[in-house]
């Protein structure tokens, strides 16, 4: 267990600073309650970095990130820079920091929240109880494979889906390790009926599974999986897949939760882990104080779980979020005109989570 944790925050643009502020305050509460020393340092990324330094990821941010124990990112993106070429836009900073930190396993939990099932377009009886952890390979596959080209003279374009055995082994091990601490099931998703790269994937995952006899392994084709996820999301525990399939399926599974503002993520396995809520900078609501901070707060829980080994504290944050939601508190995105909802601002929602955390701690000795 790490008593001292150096956390770099790169809050970025739009609602990034609003939601990251709440995540940091929750982490500070955890530190105060547990006697931990969490040190926070802030650096720039995205549009704010372009304004200050002329580029979306200044060298100072990269250095601070590599010197930290964990990087907590808000969101990047600002309409002001939409006319810039892709490589100079705020979003380029995000891709670059991911590459600099080198994480290869992207973890995206997706679960149904008690009391929020009406926010999902899926029927309550289908989503209730769903609790899936996606493990998406992030540094290989079609997004990085060479050759890649759009040859305008030939009127043709091509990309390459390529994996090495070692790339599959390392991400599969992450999935099996995580599954062994959860409900002990890995569903590996591929397209092995058509693609050789998927045949390598399937054979390698099957081989890795032998070292985890207590974890059940099943294979699914990606097309079937897209359907099963919506029909029977409760059937899945850890879903392991390659880069492109994971990108699509984890977004699809976001509908189980019902709001983009509730989804956390972590990218692990590199030099320093990178933590970010799934949502973007939401320029349409930035500065209004109404952004949902729960995705960022749940991301903070992942910082404690994966960079500090503070499993109890991570669970305490998640339990506090569940409590606040089941007590009826809702930011505007969750309330959706529900007259019975206790509509809160971003900061009020953060305060509610902290109140529950502190209250749970105060009751803990009596419960023992
Ligand atoms: P977005 O996630 O910013 O917003 C989509 C919709 O969801 C908007 O209506 C927004 O108001 C709402 N929303 C998102 N997060 C919310 C929250 N926490 N609380 C309440 N409502 C929330 O996606 P977009 O509109 O497609 O993109 C806006 C900008 O963000 C673009 O510049 C895009 O490139 C960037 N972006 C960044 C990231 C990232 O930093 N990881 C991810 C996606 C998009």
Within the chain, which residues score under 50 in pLDDT? 1-2, 367-368
Residues 6+ apart with CB under 8 A from 75: 12, 13, 14, 15, 16, 19, 46, 276, 277, 279, 280, 281, 282
pLDDT score for 251:
87
Our answer to whether residue 223 is catalytic in this structure is yes
pLDDT score for 365:
57
pLDDT by residue (tens digit) across 144-189?
899 999 999 999 999 999 999 999 999 999 999 999 999 999 999 9
Our answer to whether residue 306 is catalytic in this structure is no
Mutational test site, ligand 1, from 138, 250, 259, 280, max ligand atoms within 8 Å of CB: 280
pLDDT score for 1:
47
pLDDT by residue (tens digit) across 188-205?
999 999 999 999 999 999
Mutational test site, ligand 1, from 49, 73, 77, 295, max ligand atoms within 8 Å of CB: 77
pLDDT score for 141:
94
Residues 6+ apart with CB under 8 A from 60: 43, 44, 53
Residues with CB under 6 Å of ligand 1 are: 15, 19, 75-77, 91, 94, 260-261, 276, 279-285, 291-292, 295, 333
pLDDT score for 368:
39
């Amino acid at each position: 267990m790490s008593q001292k944790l150096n956390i770099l925050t790169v809050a970025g643009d739009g609602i990034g600073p609003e939601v990251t502020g709440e995540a940091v305050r929750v982490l500070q509460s955890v530190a105060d309650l547990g006697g931990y020393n969490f040190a926070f340092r802030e650096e720039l990324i995205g549009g704010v970095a372009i304004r200050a330094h002329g580029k979306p990821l200044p060298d100072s941010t990269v250095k601070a990130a590599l010197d930290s124990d964990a990087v907590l990112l808000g969101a990047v993106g600002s309409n002001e820079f939409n006319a810039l070429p892709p490589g100079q836009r705020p979003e380029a900073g995000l891709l670059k920091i991911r590459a600099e930190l080198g994480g290869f396993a992207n973890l995206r939990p997706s679960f149904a929240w008690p009391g929020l099932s009406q926010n999902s377009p899926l029927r309550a009886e289908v989503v209730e109880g769903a609790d899936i952890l996606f493990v998406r390979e992030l540094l290989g596959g079609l997004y990085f494979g060479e050759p890649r080209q759009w040859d305008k003279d030939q009127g043709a374009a091509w990309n390459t889906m390529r994996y090495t055995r070692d790339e599959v082994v390392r991400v599969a091990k992450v999935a099996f390790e995580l599954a062994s601490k959860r409900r002990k099931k890995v569903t590996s998703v591929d397209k092995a009926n058509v693609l050789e790269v998927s045949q390598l994937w399937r054979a390698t995952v099957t081989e890795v599974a032998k070292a985890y006899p207590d974890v059940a392994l099943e294979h699914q084709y990606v097309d079937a999986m897209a359907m099963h996820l919506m029909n029977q999301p409760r059937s899945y525990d850890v879903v392991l897949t390659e880069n492109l399939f994971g990108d699509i399926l984890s977004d699809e599974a976001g509908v189980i939760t019902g709001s983009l503002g509730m989804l956390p993520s972590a990218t692990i396995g590199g030099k320093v882990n990178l933590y970010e809520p799934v949502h973007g900078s939401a320029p349409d609501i930035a500065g209004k104080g109404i952004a949902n901070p729960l995705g960022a707060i749940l991301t903070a829980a992942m910082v404690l779980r994966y960079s500090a080994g503070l499993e109890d504290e991570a669970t305490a944050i998640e339990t506090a979020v569940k409590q606040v939601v089941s007590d009826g508190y809702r930011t505007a995105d969750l309330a959706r005109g529900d007259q019975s909802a206790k509509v809160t601002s971003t900061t009020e929602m953060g305060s509610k989570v902290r109140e529950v955390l502190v209250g749970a701690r105060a009751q803990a000795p009596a419960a023992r």
